[in-house]
């Protein structure tokens, strides 16, 4: 079974971002720490953003369970198949420029 | 009687139907019939339409408004009743029906009774306990859908997932969702998916059982104990979306979350990608503001420090660093205008440079600067060899020294 590349854990990433923001906004960190946190924050933002932007729906049909207990799949086909749609365009067009 | 069609004038459909209607009304002017109410409809006109059935047959019934108003109870599907009325025929549809004039309740129908008993039993077993309802994961990564592979429910769910949250991988397990055997099929699917999750072969965020709307008879599968057991035992949170707003079925009651429709299930289960992207843009702006404020603070401290007379002389370089910091500040502001493009690299470089220039670090070194023979600032023991001459500037003079050893430094 092929697993998708390990995705960002949004729960964890967003919590860390919030913590970084609080620390930066407190103004109590040293300059070096502040810049390091900023850099870390930008990294997390980029990872989250990239994953949200690039996600493509993946659908498989579970046909059963093999002898070794692993799931068995085939491509999912639906008679009234899903229309291909672009991800909804956002009100803020700067979003894509944001993280290069 | 001759069989020659030409010799007999054929009847019209209307005439034949009228003839049957008259006979029906003549032979069955007043009947008393017992049965279970099903497909009950209370029309806007105030008339009641329903069927009476038992194990072997079904009888269509109409109870006109005047009679319905006099009934002492509201019939529901499953109610066992005795109806008094006359048979007639509705010519437009060619259906015979009973015009009910009086309806009395005869205790609860056996199907309804069985359902009540099952609900009571499951309640006692704790199947409906609110405290065992699990929270749905906020950012689902893999969602299993149990639904008819050809129905509208699966199409609606996939469509909404595609727009709102394509990050979740979708595993579809097709199953019949109504009719004989549907209950066992759905239950088996839930158990299979739960098992794959429990053995870590296919970790799941949630299982959704989906089905489009329909009459309450079609819902029967979701009132069966086998489904209740499978949902109760599931290692994965289960969302029931069997699409019936009026009747809550047992699957709804056992599930961790009940959605009114398959579409609503997806909306409740998944965050919206667009909203999250917008949120990230806002967060990026906040991050920018915060670091710029922090830089402004550092600049201000540096200015104050440089203005102290004791420090002014030996640290002309502070002026330089101040200027550089201003430059970088401006650069960072420009970067902020373009938002965070490439800011990771810029900030890393900036952080390195700022560290070497920090006046605090200079102060920690005891107010002295040591330079090499060529005038460069000595930054590391590795830059000198035994025998090299060093000039050390202190606030009150210069010391010239020769390197004799550099313990711990490999050449």
Q: pLDDT tens digit string along B160-201? A: 999 999 999 999 999 999 888 899 999 999 999 999 999 999
Residues B98-123 have a mean pLDDT of: 84
Residues B309-315 have a mean pLDDT of: 57
Task: Look at residue A1 and tell me whether its pLDDT is greater than 80.
Answer: no
Contact A97 B338 (CB under 8 A): yes
Domain that residue A27 falls in: 10-77
Q: What is the pLDDT of residue B200?
A: 93
Topology (CATH) of B7-107: OB fold (Dihydrolipoamide Acetyltransferase, E2P) (2.40.50)
Cβ(A60)–Cβ(B137) below 8 Å = no
Proportion of chain A above pLDDT 70, given as a percent: 69
- Which of A31, A71, A78 has the CB atom closest to B155's CB atom? A78
Q: What is the pLDDT of residue B398?
A: 76
Structure confidence at residue B240 as a pLDDT band (50, 70, 90): very high
Strands B79-90 and B95-108: antiparallel
B2 has which bridge partners?
none
Please provide the distance, in angstroms rounded to a whole number, between the alpha carbons at the two ends of chain B. 131
Q: Which own/partner contact pairs does B178-182 have at CB distance under 8 Å and 24+ positions apart? A: B178/B211, B178/B214, B178/B218, B178/B219, B178/B220, B178/B221, B179/B221, B182/B221
Structure confidence at residue B219 as a pLDDT band (50, 70, 90): confident
Residues B217-229 have a mean pLDDT of: 87
CB distance from B284 to chain A under 8 Å?
A: yes
Contact B193 A62 (CB under 8 A): yes
CA distances from B87 to B27, B55, B96, B327, B360 (A): 9, 21, 7, 97, 103
User: Among B9-13, B114-118, B317-321, which stretch is predicted with the lowest mean pLDDT?
Assistant: B317-321
Cβ(B17)–Cβ(B25) below 8 Å = no
Q: What is the pLDDT of residue B146?
A: 96
Task: Look at residue B98 and tell me whether its pLDDT is greater than 90.
Answer: yes
Task: Look at residue B363 and tell me whether its pLDDT is greater than 90.
Answer: no
Determine the distance from the C-alpha atom of residue A31 to the mean position of all C-alpha atoms in its chain, rounded to a whole number.
30
- Which of B150, B174, B192 has the CB atom closest to A65's CB atom? B192
ipTM (interface pTM) = 0.75
CB distance from A27 to chain B under 8 Å?
A: yes
H-helix or E-strand spanning residue B88: strand B79-90
Q: Does a structural domain hold residue A57? A: yes
- B139 CB neighbours in chain A (<8 A) are 9-11
User: Among A33-42, B45-54, B227-236, B263-272, which stretch is predicted with the lowest mean pLDDT?
Assistant: A33-42
- Mutate which of B344, B349, B352 to disrupt the A interface (most A C-beta within 10 Å)? B344
H-helix or E-strand spanning residue B87: strand B79-90
Cβ(A76)–Cβ(A61) below 8 Å = yes
What's the rounded Cα separation, in Å, for the pair B146 and B211?
Answer: 9
Structure confidence at residue B267 as a pLDDT band (50, 70, 90): very high
Task: Look at residue B316 and tell me whether its pLDDT is greater than 80.
Answer: no
- A74 CB neighbours in chain B (<8 A) are none
What's the rounded Cα separation, in Å, for the pair A87 and B273?
Answer: 9
CA distances from B151 to A56, A69, B183, B222 (A): 23, 29, 17, 17
Structure confidence at residue B107 as a pLDDT band (50, 70, 90): low
- Mutate which of B188, B190, B193, B287 to disrupt the A interface (most A C-beta within 10 Å)? B287
Contact A42 B287 (CB under 8 A): yes
How does DSSP assign B11-52, residue by residue? PPHHHHHHHHHHHHHHH-SSEEEEEEEEEEEE-TTS-EEEEE
B53 has which bridge partners?
B36, B58
Name the range with the highest mean pLDDT among B107-121, B278-292, B346-360: B278-292
**Residues present in chain A in total:** 100
Q: How many CA atoms lie within 13 A of B206 on its CB side?
A: 26
Higher model confidence: residue B312 or residue B148?
Answer: B148
Which residue in B231, B275, B233 sits closest to B257, CA to CA? B231
Q: Does a structural domain hold residue A97? A: no
Residues B187-216 have a mean pLDDT of: 90
Q: What is the pLDDT of residue B331?
A: 63
Task: Look at residue A17 and tell me whether its pLDDT is greater than 70.
Answer: yes
Q: Does a structural domain hold residue A14? A: yes
Residue entry with tokens 């330089």: B320
Task: Look at residue A7 and tell me whether its pLDDT is greater than 50.
Answer: yes
Task: Look at residue A24 and tell me whether its pLDDT is greater than 90.
Answer: no
The residues near B83 (Cβ < 8 Å, ≥ 6 apart) are B32, B33, B34, B35, B52, B61, B98, B100, B102, B103
Q: Does a structural domain hold residue A37? A: yes
Q: Which segments of B187-232 are extended strands (E)?
A: 206-210
Contact A60 B343 (CB under 8 A): no
Residues A19-24 have a mean pLDDT of: 88
* Mean pLDDT (chain B, rounded): 83
The DSSP code for A7 is: P
CB distance from A19 to chain B under 8 Å?
A: no
Task: Look at residue B310 and tell me whether its pLDDT is greater than 70.
Answer: no
User: Among A94-98, B162-166, B218-222, B295-299, which stretch is predicted with the lowest mean pLDDT?
Assistant: A94-98
What's the rounded Cα separation, in Å, for the pair B326 and B35?
Answer: 90
Q: How many CA atoms lie within 13 A of B279 on its CB side?
A: 12
Residue of B nearest to A42 (CA): B344
Proportion of chain B above pLDDT 70, given as a percent: 78
What's the rounded Cα separation, in Å, for the pair B53 and B123?
Answer: 30
**Span B20-73, pLDDT tens digits:** 999 999 999 889 999 999 999 999 998 999 999 998 999 999 999 989 888 877
- Report the number of distinct structural domains present in chain A: 1
- A47 CB neighbours in chain B (<8 A) are none
Q: Does a structural domain hold residue A45? A: yes
Contact A94 B281 (CB under 8 A): yes
Residues B137-152 have a mean pLDDT of: 92
Q: Does a structural domain hold residue A98? A: no
Residues B263-286 have a mean pLDDT of: 91
Q: What is the pLDDT of residue B360?
A: 43
Q: Does a structural domain hold residue A86? A: no
Residue B104 DSSP SS3: strand
Q: What is the pLDDT of residue A84?
A: 43
Task: Look at residue B249 and tell me whether its pLDDT is greater than 50.
Answer: yes
Residue of A nearest to B200 (CA): A70
Residue A63 has a CB neighbour count (10 Å cut-off) of: 12
Topology (CATH) of B116-271: Rossmann fold (3.40.50)
Cβ(B124)–Cβ(B233) below 8 Å = no
A61 has which bridge partners?
A74, B172
Cβ(B390)–Cβ(B380) below 8 Å = no
Task: Look at residue A60 and tell me whether its pLDDT is greater than 90.
Answer: yes
């Amino acid at each position: 079974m092929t697993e998708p590349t390990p995705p960002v854990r949004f729960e964890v990433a967003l919590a860390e971002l919030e913590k970084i923001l609080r620390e930066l906004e407190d103004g109590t960190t040293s300059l070096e720490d502040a810049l390091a946190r900023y850099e870390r924050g930008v990294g997390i933002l980029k990872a989250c953003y990239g994953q949200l932007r690039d996600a493509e729906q993946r659908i498989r049909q579970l046909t059963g369970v093999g002898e070794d207990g692993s799931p068995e799949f085939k491509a999912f086909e639906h008679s009234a198949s899903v229309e291909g749609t672009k991800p909804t365009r956002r009100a803020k067009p700067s979003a894509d420029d944001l993280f290069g | 009687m001759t069989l020659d069609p030409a010799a007999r004038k054929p009847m019209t459909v209307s005439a034949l139907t009228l003839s049957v209607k008259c006979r029906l009304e003549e032979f069955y002017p007043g009947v008393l019939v017992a049965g279970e109410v099903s497909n009950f409809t209370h029309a806007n006109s105030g008339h009641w339409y329903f069927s009476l059935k038992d194990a072997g047959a079904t009888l269509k019934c109409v109870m006109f408004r005047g009679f319905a108003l006099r009934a002492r109870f509201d019939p529901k599907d499953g109610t066992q009743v005795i109806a008094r009325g006359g048979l007639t025929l509705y010519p437009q549809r060619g259906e015979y029906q009973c015009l009910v004039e009086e309806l009395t309740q005869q205790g609860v129908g056996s199907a309804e009774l069985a359902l009540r008993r099952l609900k009571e039993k499951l309640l006692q077993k704790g199947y409906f306990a609110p405290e065992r309802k699990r929270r749905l994961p906020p950012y689902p990564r893999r969602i299993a859908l149990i639904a008819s592979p050809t129905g509208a429910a699966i199409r609606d769910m996939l469509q909404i997932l595609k727009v709102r949250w394509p990050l979740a991988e979708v595993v579809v397990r097709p199953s019949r969702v109504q009719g004989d055997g549907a209950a066992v099929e759905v239950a088996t699917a839930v158990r299979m998916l739960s098992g794959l999750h429990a053995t870590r072969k296919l970790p799941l965020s949630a299982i959704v059982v989906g089905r489009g709307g329909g009459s309450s008879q079609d819902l029967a599968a979701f009132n069966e104990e086998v489904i209740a057991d499978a949902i109760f035992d599931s290692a994965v949170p289960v969302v029931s979306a069997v699409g019936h707003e009026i009747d809550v079925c047992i699957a709804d009651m056992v599930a961790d979350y009940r959605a009114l429709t398959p579409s609503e299930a997806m909306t409740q289960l998944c965050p919206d990608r667009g909203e999250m992207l917008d949120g990230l843009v806002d967060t990026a702006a906040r991050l920018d503001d915060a670091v710029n404020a922090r830089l402004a603070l550092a600049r201000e401290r540096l200015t104050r420090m440089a203005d102290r007379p004791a420090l002014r002389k030996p640290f002309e370089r502070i002026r330089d660093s101040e200027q550089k910091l201003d430059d970088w500040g401006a650069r960072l502001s420009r970067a902020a205008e373009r938002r965070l493009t490439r800011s990771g690299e810029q900030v890393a470089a900036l952080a390195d440079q700022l560290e070497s220039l920090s006046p605090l670090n200079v102060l920690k070194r005891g107010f002295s600067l040591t330079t090499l023979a060529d005038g460069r600032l000595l930054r590391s023991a590795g830059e000198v060899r035994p025998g090299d001459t060093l000039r050390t500037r202190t606030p009150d003079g210069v010391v010239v020294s020769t390197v004799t050893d550099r313990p711990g430094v490999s050449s």
